[in-house]
Amino acid sequence: MLDKKLFRFIVLFYILACLFGLVNALFQKISGVSFKSFTWIGLIMNYLFNYGTKFIFIILSIIFTRVYIMRKFSLPISIIIHTLISVLLSLYSSVLLLGYEKYVLGYTDVIDIKLILLRLAYSSNFNFFVYFTLITILYAYYYFKKQKDQEIKESNLKTQLLDSKIKVLQSQLQPHFLFNALNDISSLMDIDIEKSQDALADLSEMLRKTLSIKDVKYITLEEELSILNKYLGIEKLRFGEKLNFKIDIADFMLFEKVPPLILQPIVENSIKHGFSYTHDTIIIAIKIFMLYDDIVFEITNNGAQLQQEKIVFGNGISNVLERIDTLYQGNYSFDIRNNKNSGVINSIKIPRIFEQGKHS
C-alpha cells in the first residue's frame, strides 16, 4: 500500500489543486465569464463533488500503480498505461459530473455520447496534468526511498565489516600483549619472586580490563590510561629505578573517546628499544593534549635513538596503526623520529569523537 507520509503529501497536494480550481471558478463567476447559472453554494458543492470523486479514482489508481504497475512494467509501457488511465479518469469524472448536474441540480440536458465527449475534451487537459503530477510524485518518492534504503544497507554492511575487522585486530593484539607481559614476568621471576607475584596480580587486572573492552570501538582516555598504568606498573616492578615514567594530561580530557589499547604497544616499544648498552636508565614521558579538533599523543623516551631511515614496525604498532586507519579512514597521522638530544618521539594525532558519534 502507500506510506503514510506519501499519502499525506498526496492529499495535501490534491487539496491545493482543488482550492486553486475553486478559486479560479469563483473568479470566473464574479467576472461573469462563466458559471452564471450556478449559485455560490451550488458552485462550491459542484467543485467538491467533482474533485472528491476524482480523488477516489486517483487514489485507487495510485494504489494499483504501487502494487502492480511499478513491479510489472517498464517505464515506457507504464507511461502508456497511465495515459489510458488518465483518459478513463476524464471519462469517469465527466459521466459522474453530468449525472450530478442532471439528477441533483436538475439540469435538463440529455446525457448522450456527444455531451460526454465534449465534457471529456473540455476537462482532459486538467485531469491529465493532475493525474500525471501525482503519479510522478509516486514514482519519485519510491525511487528516492529505494536509493536511501540502498545507501542505508550499504552503510550497514560497511559497519558490519568494520566491526568484524576491528574485532579481528583486537583479538590479534591481546595475545601479542599477553605473551610479552608473560615474558616480562618470567624474566622478573629470576630476580625477585615477590615482585613477580605482584606483577601477576597486575597482569590479571589488566586482562580483566582488556577483556571487558574487546567488543567496543572506543573507550575513554581514563580507561585507556588505567590499562596503561597497570602495564607500566608491571614494567616498573621488572626494571625498578632504571625505568621511570610520567603522564601529562588535563583532567577535562579524561572522558574523550579513543580506540582501545593504542598507547600500551607504543610505550612497550619505547621501553624495549630505549634500553641499550649506553642507556640503562630511561624515562618515558607521555603527553596527551588537544590541537583544535584533534587529540595528540606524544610518547618520548630518552634512550637509544633510531639507527635506520626506514623503520620496520613490529606486530604491536602495526596492529595499532591498522586499527586507527580502519576507524578513521586515513584521517590521522603517526610519526616516529629521533629527539634532538637523545631518545625517540612517537606522535599520534587522531580526530576527536563528538557527542553525535562522528569525528571531524
Domain's final residue, options 152, 173, 204: 152
* CATH, residue 301: 3.30.565.10
CB 300 within 8 Å of CB 347: no
Query: 212-257, pLDDT tens digit by residue?
Result: 665 677 889 999 998 888 888 878 877 888 889 999 999 999 999 9
pLDDT value at residue 76: 87
pLDDT beyond 70 at 170: no
Same domain, 9 and 144: yes
Please give the average per-residue pLDDT across 116-124, as a whole number.
Answer: 80
- Residue 287's SS3 state is strand
Same domain, 29 and 131: yes
- Residue 19 gets the label, from left (phi > 0), alpha (psi -120 to 50) or beta, of alpha
Query: Same structural domain for residues 128 and 15?
Result: yes
**Per-residue cell: 259:** 580506540
> How far apart are alpha carbons 184 and 235 in whole angstroms?
7
Within a domain: 211: no
Tell me the pLDDT band of 26, cut-offs 50, 70 and 90: confident
Dist CA 183 CA 175 (whole Å) = 12
Structural domain count, the chain: 2
DSSP 35: -
Decide if 161 is inside a domain: no
Do 131 and 269 fall into the same domain? no
Mean pLDDT, the chain, integer: 82
Assess whether 10 and 143 both reside in one domain: yes
Q: Is 358:327 a contact under the CB 8 Å cutoff?
A: no
Segment 303-318 shows an average pLDDT of: 75
CA neighbor of 186 nearest in space, from 177, 176, 175, 197 = 197
Tens of pLDDT, residues 41-70: 888 888 888 888 888 888 888 888 888 888
The answer to whether residue 357 scores a pLDDT higher than 50 is no
Q: What are phi and psi of 347, to 5 degrees?
A: -130, 130
Please report the pLDDT score of residue 350 as a whole number: 94
Do the domain assignments include residue 302?
yes
Please give the pLDDT value at position 359. Answer: 45
Q: CB within 8 A of 123, min separation 6: which ones?
A: 90, 93, 94
Pairing of strands 282-291, 243-249: parallel
Sequence-ordered list of residues with C-beta below 8 angstroms from that of 56, at least 6 positions apart, any chain: none
Same domain, 270 and 143: no
- Identify whether 51 is part of a domain: yes
% of residues, the chain, pLDDT over 70: 88
Collapsed DSSP state (helix, strand, coil) of residue 218? coil
Q: Identify the domain boundary among 104, 120, 152.
A: 152
Residue 125 lies in domain? 4-152
